[in-house]
Amino acid sequence: MKKLVAITVVFLSINGSAQVNNDSLLILLDSVSGTARITLLKELCWENRYSNPSDAIKYGLEALSLTRELGATEHEASINNYLGVIQRNIGDHATALEYFFTAQGISEAQNNMTDLAYAHNNIGDIYNLEGKYQEALENEFKALTLFEETGDSLGVSYCCHQIALVFTNLEEHSRALQYDERSMNIRRSMGNMAGVAYSLISIGMNHLSLGEISESLESLRESGAIFEELGDHFGLAFSMHHLGIYYRETGNHQEAISYFTLALELGRETDSPIRIRNAAQELSEIYAELGRFEEAYRMYILFKETYDSLYREENLVKLSQLVLRNEFEQRELVQQAEIRRQKQVRNYFILSLGLAVIVLIVLHSRFTVKRRANIELQQRNRDIETQKEKLEELYVSLRSKNDELSQQYEEIAAQKDHLVLLNNQLEEQKRELNETLDALRRAQSHLVQAEKMASLGQVTAGVAHELNNPLNFICTSIKPLQRNVEDLLAILTKYDSIIEKDKLSARFNDVKALKDELDYKFLLNETGSLLDGIYEGASRSEHIVKDLRTFSRMDENEFKGVNIHEGIDSTLLLLKHKVQGKITIHKAYGKLQHVECLPGKLNQVFMNIITNSILAIEEKGDIYITTSSVDDKARISIRDTGKGMSREIMEHIFEPFYTTREVGKGTGLGLSISYSIIEEHGGTIEVQSEPGAGSEFIITLPFTRTES
């Protein structure tokens, strides 16, 4: 009985809260994706762990697959714990341990103390069920320490409950009561009355083992009253089951049958195979002990239908003993009838001494009675033999069906193990293929983007080179031309002074008329202005060509020290047509030393971020570019006054192919490539943003590259 108590106290006894409506969760599942879908799948897995284990496993495996697909590693440990609990509930302790050990490894790697505590707790539970009590206690006390360190009162209460179960199996009932009472007090302080009720059941069974009958009955009845008040029929079935155990242990079989029957009905009402299984098992054994074989057989069949496990051998022995006992009782009745017949014959002979005639009549009569009695006795013997044969056939049939069910169970278990193995192999292959596909996609995107930027660099470099020679010619010729024009004007001015001085104007009236006609003074001023304009245009063109050459360093594959301000300026030059009349650029450059980098790739990062800032500003706005030196590193801040981003978007912006733009208007590769380039330079890139408040990208780069 003590072993049975340890096995039947279920995992969820600590929380006892009402289950979330399964249909509501399924409706929500169709409308969510991403990590929200993982959360709902976990909830469905947990809610179906008793009522529908196959569906629970399906939801758990889907959640585990989605977790690996999305990289949401924070959910892996808890999902493995859930799947292990379900495998434990259906009796597959080996598979359950695999899941719990996996959860333990993941939790240790992630330094996740909560899931690590539950993993140790669950491992201890399996060892307890397998009879490895020392290993069970080691894991349970590890879990208890972790729960206490993390301040998880719920975990402490459940762990104390599990430790009490181990001490119950070790028959150390006083120590078991100490931990059960600690668990109950924590649950009561948390207002977890369902958990209090489960603790009372365990306390009641330990009192029963210690012979404290009244305390045991009081605890069990109190637990039933709590479940009834909560309307928790699942827990009430559990309480009624243990009241049945109490009355069976105290010898009151009728009361035991009543409570087990009530537990069975509540199990059917709550659609709980575990409750039905346990109640049917107990009823089958009690009916067998009472000689009510037909009812025992009916309960046994119900037990087998709800749980494919071996029918307890001791019950079969009891059935056979009861059959033999019934046979013995029937033979004893025959012998007693024979003794009574012999006494009657003797009395007839005594009477015959005095009444000869009467004796003859009586003898004749008694002979007839004897013959009839013999016939009746023979008939009764045949009936007994027939009943015996039927019972033997029933016994053989039961053993045969049990053997068939055992064989079917082993075959199903083997098929299940094979399917689990195949599923694990397929999951591993799928994961490897997904990783390979992601790597290929990233490589392809990097190649495409690099090819685009290389092509842009080649074009800009070519244009800069072709423009550079004529611009050099213009820039080098404009100053001498300006000097020559000034010299010619000086000569003309000298001629004018000579004419005025020598009063020769009458001889040069036609020249004076031509000057007036051509507006000589305006020509002089315009010529100076034109020469200044040509010089200014040539200087600006030379500056543009210089910026183009700076930006076009895309094919430079060696790290070199460069002025990053030149790279930013060259990028702004190429984007000038997008910001003119719409966006004001504010530059606040600090004093920076040269940064060792790949100039072309770094310009590509500036191009991607500034382009995104431009797209984020729907009408007019500002972009602030600030540089400074912080902790021997260059810090570049690019802040805009655009529409900003939500926290969910910020969590994904550096992922390949993630974009918030419409289909066909963005590849989702720019920021992913930028992130890789900054990592390649040993730097970091961060984003700060709020919806409606703009976004800021902060890049930090070491001035000197460290060889890895």
User: The whole model's pTM is what?
Assistant: 0.41
pLDDT digits (tens, 9 = 90+) for 587-598: 999 988 888 888
- Superfamily the domain 2-231 falls into: Tetratricopeptide repeat domain (1.25.40.10)
Determine which of 8-17, 500-509, 576-585 has the lowest per-residue pLDDT on average: 8-17
Residue 124 to residue 139: CA distance in whole angstroms = 5
- In the prediction, which pLDDT does 657 show? 65
- In the prediction, which pLDDT does 100 show? 93
pLDDT digits (tens, 9 = 90+) for 96-155: 999 999 999 999 999 999 999 999 999 999 999 889 999 999 999 999 999 999 999 989
Determine which of 63-72, 300-309, 435-444, 457-466 has the lowest per-residue pLDDT on average: 457-466
Residue 632 to residue 636: CA distance in whole angstroms = 13
- In the prediction, which pLDDT does 135 show? 92
Model confidence at 334: pLDDT above 60: no
| Higher pLDDT pick, 11 / 84 | 84
Model confidence at 233: pLDDT above 80: yes
Model confidence at 353: pLDDT above 70: no
- In the prediction, which pLDDT does 639 show? 92
DSSP summary character for residue 554: G
- In the prediction, which pLDDT does 507 show? 58
Q: How far apart are the first and last CA of the chain?
A: 65
> If you average pLDDT over each of 91-95, 354-358, 395-399, which comes out highest?
91-95
Residue 582 to residue 563: CA distance in whole angstroms = 28
Residue 603 to residue 543: CA distance in whole angstroms = 18
Model confidence at 53: pLDDT above 70: yes
Residue 547 to residue 561: CA distance in whole angstroms = 17
Residue 326 to residue 331: CA distance in whole angstroms = 9
Mean pLDDT computed over 294-300? 87
Residue 157 to residue 480: CA distance in whole angstroms = 95
CB distance 457 to 551 below 8 Å: yes
Question: Residue 283, Cα to own-chain centre: how many angstroms?
Answer: 41
- In the prediction, which pLDDT does 548 show? 60
Per CATH, domain 232-307 is 1.25.40.10: yes
pLDDT digits (tens, 9 = 90+) for 458-498: 556 566 656 666 766 577 767 777 777 777 777 777 777 77
Model confidence at 521: pLDDT above 90: no
- In the prediction, which pLDDT does 12 show? 33
Residue 223 to residue 22: CA distance in whole angstroms = 27
- Count CB atoms within 10 A of the CB of residue 403: 11
Whether the CA torsion 480, 485, 487, 488 is positive or negative: it is: positive
Residue 658 to residue 679: CA distance in whole angstroms = 19
Question: Residue 633, Cα to own-chain centre: how many angstroms?
Answer: 39
pLDDT digits (tens, 9 = 90+) for 219-232: 999 999 999 999 98
Q: Which two tokens stand for residue 177?
A: 């009561």
When the pLDDT of each residue in the chain is averaged and rounded to a whole number, the result is 78
Model confidence at 555: pLDDT above 50: no
- Count CB atoms within 10 A of the CB of residue 695: 23
Residue 46 to residue 12: CA distance in whole angstroms = 10
- In the prediction, which pLDDT does 319 show? 34
- In the prediction, which pLDDT does 328 show? 39
Residue 249 to residue 657: CA distance in whole angstroms = 67
Angle between the 356-501 and 599-616 helix axes, to the nearest 10 degrees?
100
Q: Which fold, 558-702?
A: Heat Shock Protein 90 (3.30.565)
Question: Residue 279, Cα to own-chain centre: how many angstroms?
Answer: 35
CA torsion angle for 177, 154, 89, 227 (degrees, to 10)?
A: 70
Q: What percent of the chain has pLDDT over 90?
A: 28
**Partners of 697 in the β-ladder:** 638, 687
- Count CB atoms within 10 A of the CB of residue 671: 22
Residue 74 sits at φ, ψ, to 5 deg, of -65, -15
Residue 567 to residue 551: CA distance in whole angstroms = 6
Confidence of residue 14 (pLDDT cuts 50, 70, 90): very low
Q: Which two tokens stand for residue 151?
A: 């301040």
| Higher pLDDT pick, 699 / 353 | 699
- Count CB atoms within 10 A of the CB of residue 447: 10
- In the prediction, which pLDDT does 10 show? 33
Residue 625's closest CA among 614, 643, 673?
614
Phi-psi region of 111 (alpha: psi -120 to 50; beta: other; left: phi over 0): left
Strand duo 621-630 + 583-588: pairing: parallel
Q: Is 666 exposed, middle or buried (0-12, 13-18, 19+ CB in 10 A)?
A: middle
Q: What percent of the chain has pLDDT over 70?
A: 74
Q: Is 389 exposed, middle or buried (0-12, 13-18, 19+ CB in 10 A)?
A: exposed
pLDDT digits (tens, 9 = 90+) for 502-519: 666 555 666 677 777 777
Tell me the CA distances in angstroms from 379 to 334, 338, 383, 385, one per residue in order: 11, 14, 6, 10
Model confidence at 426: pLDDT above 90: no
Residue 338 to residue 359: CA distance in whole angstroms = 21
- In the prediction, which pLDDT does 682 show? 86
- Count CB atoms within 10 A of the CB of residue 469: 9
Angle between the 213-230 and 193-209 helix axes, to the nearest 10 degrees?
160
Give 414-417 contacts, CB < 8 A, sequence gap 24+.
416/92, 417/95
CB distance 666 to 659 below 8 Å: yes
- In 231-272, alpha helices (H): 233-249, 253-269
Q: Which two tokens stand for residue 491?
A: 């000569």
Determine which of 343-347, 533-537, 581-585 has the lowest per-residue pLDDT on average: 343-347
DSSP-derived 3-state class of residue 18:
coil
CB distance 87 to 122 below 8 Å: no
How many Cα atoms are found within 13 Å in the side-chain-facing hemisphere of 237?
A: 23
**Partners of 635 in the β-ladder:** 628, 700
Q: Which two tokens stand for residue 115?
A: 């899931």
- Count CB atoms within 10 A of the CB of residue 651: 12
DSSP 287-322: HHHTT-HHHHHHHHHHHHHH--SPPPHHHHHHHHHH
Q: Which two tokens stand for residue 20?
A: 């979330």
DSSP summary character for residue 593: -
**Partners of 640 in the β-ladder:** 623
Residue 65's closest CA among 431, 443, 375, 584?
431
**Partners of 492 in the β-ladder:** none
DSSP-derived 3-state class of residue 500:
helix
| Strand stretches in 598-642, DSSP E | 621-630, 633-640
Mean pLDDT computed over 636-657? 84
Residue 221 to residue 453: CA distance in whole angstroms = 79
Give 449-455 contacts, CB < 8 A, sequence gap 24+.
449/604, 449/669, 449/670, 449/673, 453/554, 453/600, 453/604, 453/607, 454/554, 454/555
Residue 708 to residue 706: CA distance in whole angstroms = 6
The amino acid occupying position 148 is E
DSSP-derived 3-state class of residue 640:
strand
Q: Which two tokens stand for residue 660?
A: 């918030």
